[in-house]
């Protein structure tokens, strides 16, 4: 009987070990359950995602940490950057800090401040992205040196990965005839259609999340 570890199990155990290494440096980073799969979505790819309180256990709820198979196709240092990025979201959740808006897409300055605690920095002179905000934080040289053994372990534990490529063509859907722009709040499943001028004159607040509706670009 072979003692070789299953590739899927090796990937998850390697990611779990890397997360533990982060928690040693930043004890406020919460425990998570790792899942993997494809991150492809139409013409884009998601490297990772922190999703709070998704799993039920006998001792309470646990957060979910998704790392895509496509992320494992990159350099181990980039995978480590993704882990630190998602750990920043975990830290924000634990401290009750709103570090994103627009359904988690736009990363604000509070995210950058928290990311700095974990050894990530916003590249000097780089402007924020209109959609993702300050998402593209990077490891400092000091952080990369601190996690050198962890990055090497990620390289050794990369037993499988998914190739980068375009997702299958989406099914054709009938577009709405409503010509007014669509706006959403952070609930993610509540929408309104209204003129841009209406939202520019005064915010329209959602009665559930108490956040303003914003135009979906």
CATH code for the domain of 31: 3.40.390
| 164 lies in some domain | no
Confidence band for 170, pLDDT divided at 50, 70 and 90: very low
- Same structural domain for residues 53 and 93? yes
Phi, psi of 92 (to 5 degrees): -60, -40
Nearest to 182 by CA among 141, 210, 213: 213
| 173 lies in some domain | no
| 165 lies in some domain | no
Residue given tokens 């993704």 in the structure block: 82
- Same structural domain for residues 186 and 127? no
Residue-wise pLDDT for 152-169, tens only, equals 999 999 999 998 765 444
- Same structural domain for residues 40 and 145? yes
| 15 lies in some domain | yes
Residue-wise pLDDT for 85-134, tens only, equals 999 999 999 999 999 998 889 999 999 999 999 999 999 999 999 999 99
Query: How far out from the chain centre does Cα 47 lie?
Result: 7
* Structure confidence at residue 165 (pLDDT): 63
Enclosing domain of residue 197: 182-215
| 74 lies in some domain | yes
| 126 lies in some domain | yes
- Same structural domain for residues 30 and 105? yes
In this structure, is the dihedral angle defined by the CA atoms of residues 45, 164, 82 and 59, taken in order, positive or negative? Answer: positive
- Same structural domain for residues 132 and 189? no
What six digits make up the tokens of 47? 């490297």
Average pLDDT of the residues of the chain: 88
- Same structural domain for residues 46 and 82? yes
| 132 lies in some domain | yes
- Same structural domain for residues 87 and 131? yes
Alpha carbon dihedral 83, 85, 90, 93, in 10-degree steps, equals -170
- Does residue 2 carry a pLDDT above 50? no
- Same structural domain for residues 21 and 106? yes
**Would you say the pTM of this structure is higher than 0.85?**
no
For the chain, the domain total comes to: 2
| 176 lies in some domain | no
- Same structural domain for residues 96 and 132? yes
- Same structural domain for residues 150 and 186? no
* Structure confidence at residue 178 (pLDDT): 55
- Measured CA to CA, the distance from residue 182 to residue 202 in angstroms comes to 16
Phi, psi of 140 (to 5 degrees): -80, 160
Among 121, 156, 191, residue at a domain's last position:
156
């Amino acid at each position: 009987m072979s003692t070789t570890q299953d590739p899927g199990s090796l990937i998850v155990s390697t990611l779990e070990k890397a997360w533990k290494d982060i928690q040693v440096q930043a004890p406020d980073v919460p425990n998570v359950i790792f899942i993997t799969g494809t991150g492809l979505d139409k013409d884009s790819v998601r490297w990772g995602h922190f999703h709070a309180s998704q799993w039920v256990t006998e001792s309470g709820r646990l957060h979910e940490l998704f790392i895509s198979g496509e992320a494992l196709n990159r350099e181990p240092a980039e995978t480590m950057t993704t882990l630190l990025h998602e750990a920043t979201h975990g830290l924000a959740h634990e401290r009750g800090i709103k570090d994103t808006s627009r359904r988690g897409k736009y990363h604000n300055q509070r995210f950058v401040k928290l990311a700095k605690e974990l050894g990530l920095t916003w590249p000097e002179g780089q402007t924020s992205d209109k959609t993702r905000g300050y998402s593209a934080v990077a490891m400092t040289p000091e952080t990369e040196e601190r996690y050198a053994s962890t990055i090497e372990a990620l390289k050794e534990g990369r037993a499988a990965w998914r190739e980068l490529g375009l997702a299958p063509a989406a099914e054709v859907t009938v577009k709405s005839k409503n010509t007014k722009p669509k706006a959403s709040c952070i609930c993610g499943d509540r929408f309104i259609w209204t003129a841009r001028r209406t939202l520019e004159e005064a915010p329209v607040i959602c009665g559930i999340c108490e956040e303003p509706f914003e135009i979906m670009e």
